[in-house]
Structure 1
Amino acid sequence: MSFGGPIAHLGYFHKTYVVRKKWIDEKSFADLVALCQFLPGPASSQVGIGIGAMRAGLSGAIVAWLGFTLPSVLLLIAFAYLIYGVDVGGAGWIHGLKLVAVAIVAQAVLGMANKLAAGRLRASIAFGALAAVLLWQAPWVQVAIIAAAGVAGMLLFKEERSPDVQHQSVRVSYKTGIICLSLFVVILIGLPIVRLVTGNEWVVLMDSFYRTGSLVFGGGHVVVPLLETETMLNGWMSKEEFVAGYGAVQAVPGPLFTFAAYIGVFIQGVPGAVLAIVAVFLPGFLLVIGSMPFWNSLRRITRLQGAMASMNAAVVGILFAALYDPIWTSSVTTSIEFIIAAALFVLLVFWKLPPWTIVILGAVAGQIWL
């Protein structure tokens, strides 16, 4: 039932687990949300994982993730098989989905820019990230941009502080936290080495999606440019197929990260979808479980808060670049396409229609006029 993106997901969680079921209290929920927004990964999914861990330990975290993720995974796998082998460039409704992606990413970029790239300094960091991503098309570029932004933030935003730092009670042991954080680092470093040595296609797939899941700061939409880079460089699908899938993911409930299941089908069918989903979510899972025991200390480090401010500004620039290429360049080439995309944007931003209705309207408009 969780349509509407990360903010809506958090609303569902609050209503169900704080208000109705009373599994966790208001303060613990607020602190958990703060932790997940601070970490890389899909924040709303990580909140669900954290609630599961507080309720029933690691097994609870795994089951909570499965429950929140599986509906959209199944729907996107079905959609991938529906359009697999079809000329997506020639189908009007598919092109309409691509225009939906234009409207929704534009909304996400503007919203994030207002929050995360306000002021001359942050806006300049965002612009630098945008230029670098468009000029150098390689997976390491985005890693380097985020890392460089973090270092710059430690120097430029020395006085960056969280407005409200409260103590959080957690139910994860320090030993479990250390094991999870160690696994995160070992897998992140080890997979590229194994990939280089073996060249195995399954290792390539897992490395690409695990690295993507490790680098997503600032919300689910940021996964789009990272996945696009990996997908295009590995030749897994066309730009048109990629953007059509991104349009479709707006119509399903649950986290945007399940877009990985759609891509996985094009690579290796259902097994590829399963591995892609596990790989892209695993970093966020390990980080939220691993960080819970240390959260009270970590978020008081001023330099770390400054690094996060700068990295979030860089993420805005990366997402702006994705809005241009591949989303805009593969979708908007005529006046009628621009008109439809602009109309969808107005309905989404100013009329406040839910994303799933925008998806339907976009598909219908594309079928009629394109």
Structure 2
Amino acid sequence: MQTLGVRTAQPKFSLLIDDSQTLSYRELLKCTAPLALIDVQTLSASHYQQFKNVFVTQTRAVSELQFEEIASLVDFIPGATTSQMMVALGTISKKNALGGIVALVAYTVPGAMILTILGYIYSKYPDPRDLNILVFLAIQGIKSSTVALILQLLISMAAKSISNKMHIALSVLSAALFVAYQQPYVLILTMMMGGIITIMVEYDAENTIGRRTFVKEQTATPAIVNDPKLINKKNSHKISQLLGNKSLHLYSVILLLLLYLNSKYQSLILDITLSFYNIGTFMIGGTPITLPFMYAETVLNPLYINADAFWLGFGLAAALPGPYLNFAIFLGTHSMGIYGGICCWVAIFVPSILQIWGLLPNWSNLRKNVYLQKFKEGVISVAIGFLATAVYYGWVDACRYDLSTATVISFLSLVYVSLLNFNSPAVLTLGAALFIIRYLALWYYRELDPVIF
């Protein structure tokens, strides 16, 4: 068999499609749909084990070594981690790119449809106090509990990523910059500078591994083109360098097209679509990083969405099945109708899809790059500071009508999710119930007239 590179003592592995079992589209939908319908965890919980059980253990469409490499890749590159994971697993399981799209659609659409309906209904009430009184109280409780979910996510990210004083300094500085300059381009520039500073400060120029960082790794990767065993007989489409190059080129074409259309036509839908496309591009560190970017792009622009709807949408996305990046369709529908919601939803997922296809064939050259690893550490440190600021803004909005009640519910929700391991739907349901009980007690038992309205 013809091979690329030279033989080494390392075990062979390939992220390219091999001769494992090929699923039909029906089988792919059958194994993917349950993940979207019943797999609801807390925001910081990993879905990797559930994915592994389905694609490696049950269907055997993906080898265990491929799965581990894909998991390490999606944790390394920008994009929505669970969504990219689903795209990669679907592509390998079906042996073509359409399989990745089918898997992602099956995983995301159920939750997205519910959020679209809720976003459309909520858009009919510019003032939430016009809602039914119990619904209004429940919403305030949901927003209070959402603060705890984001705070717990922040704590877990900081414990995992903050390892020295420089990381702490970058987080504190980025939080201050977010408060002072609430512009999306400032967030992007700060993240890039954080990555560059980390490389300059932490990289050891004498490190022998670092000296060969940019040298192409020479591994014994099979030459797919010349090995008939590695080509599916029904469909010879592969995750190849060709698909990777086409995906990266397509990403650039879409970006340039959006920039051109946005400059030529004054359209709010084009503007917000471009914004969400950029958000999907700069998710370095995973989907939690989208929260401050979305806040800067939508809430700080009065033409789009208000803070009340923003935090409610995030809480609902956390409680519903599927990736909470579906939260984008709630924001778009609330501000610009169903068509706007679909545009935002597609725009935020497309960069992740094209990135995973584009970088899968090149992962062996990226996985040990010291510079990229240090760059990501700096970017995540900066993003943690942004996320801390987003927690503060979420708490301020939750306390708009009742500071003491919202703060207490946020604290109790943090206890539920951190110490008692409640999942997101349970935490949000308890938050809504506690807020309602609080005001029912004031009205009926203490005969007080709350000033929340």
Shared fold, TM over 0.5: yes
Question: In 2, Cα distance between the equivalents of 1:118 and 1:299?
Answer: 21
Which deviates more from structure 2 when the two are superposed, residues 112-121 or residues 280-289? Answer: 112-121
Q: Which residue of 1 aligns with 2:264?
A: 197
Q: Which residue of 2 aligns with 1:178?
A: 245
Q: Deviation at 1:92?
A: 0.6
1:113 aligns with 2:158: yes
8 A contact 2:247–2:357 mirrored in 1: yes
Q: Deviation at 1:219?
A: 2.5
Q: Deviations over 1:257-311 (max 9, x none)?
A: 1000101112322211111111000111000000001110012221111101111
1:255 aligns with 2:323: yes
Secondary structure class of the residue paired with 1:329: helix
**Which has the larger share of helix?**
1
8 A contact 1:105–1:323 mirrored in 2: yes
Q: Which residue of 2 aligns with 1:137?
A: 182
Q: Deviation at 1:189?
A: 4.8
1:3 aligns with 2:40: yes
Q: Which residue of 1 aligns with 2:384?
A: 316
Q: Deviation at 1:205?
A: 2.1
8 A contact 2:143–2:398 mirrored in 1: yes
With over 3 angstroms needed to count, the CA separation of the structure-2 counterparts of 1:189 and 1:369, relative to structure 1, is farther
Q: How do 1:148-163 residues align onto structure 2 when only pairs under 5 Å count?
A: 148-159=193-204
Structure 2: stretches of 5+ with no match in the other structure: 1-37, 211-216, 225-237, 440-453
Question: In 1, Cα distance between the equivalents of 2:72 and 2:319?
Answer: 27
Q: Deviation at 1:355?
A: 1.0
Question: In 2, Cα distance between the equivalents of 1:143 and 1:285?
Answer: 21
In structure 2, which of residues 415, 424, 435 is the aligned counterpart of residue 366 of structure 1? 435
Q: Deviations over 1:290-347 (max 9, x none)?
A: 000111001222111110111111111110111112x011113522221111001101
Q: Which residue of 2 aligns with 1:128?
A: 173
Question: In 1, Cα distance between the equivalents of 2:87 and 2:351?
Answer: 12
1:187 aligns with 2:254: yes
In structure 1, which of residues 21, 43, 51 is the aligned counterpart of residue 81 of structure 2? 43
1:206 aligns with 2:273: yes
Q: Which residue of 2 aligns with 1:340?
A: 409
State which structure, 1 or 2, has the greater radius of gyration over its C-alpha atoms.
2
Q: How do 1:346-361 residues align onto structure 2 when only pairs under 5 Å count?
A: 346-361=415-430
Question: In 2, Cα distance between the equivalents of 1:88 and 1:10?
Answer: 38
Cα-Cα RMSD = 2.1
In structure 1, which of residues 48, 51, 55 is the aligned counterpart of residue 93 of structure 2? 55
With over 3 angstroms needed to count, the CA separation of the structure-2 counterparts of 1:237 and 1:167, relative to structure 1, is farther
8 A contact 1:6–1:255 mirrored in 2: no
Q: Which residue of 2 aligns with 1:21?
A: 59
Amino acid at match of 2:308: E
Amino acid at match of 1:254: G
1:84 aligns with 2:148: no
8 A contact 1:9–1:254 mirrored in 2: no
Q: Deviations over 1:137-164 (max 9, x none)?
A: 11111111111112212212325989xx
Question: In 2, Cα distance between the equivalents of 1:323 and 1:55?
Answer: 39
With over 3 angstroms needed to count, the CA separation of the structure-2 counterparts of 1:220 and 1:150, relative to structure 1, is same
Would you say how many aligned residue pairs link Structure 1 and Structure 2?
Answer: 367
Percent identity over paired residues? 25
In structure 2, which of residues 105, 109, 118 is the aligned counterpart of residue 70 of structure 1? 109
With over 3 angstroms needed to count, the CA separation of the structure-2 counterparts of 1:192 and 1:149, relative to structure 1, is farther
Secondary structure class of the residue paired with 1:41: coil
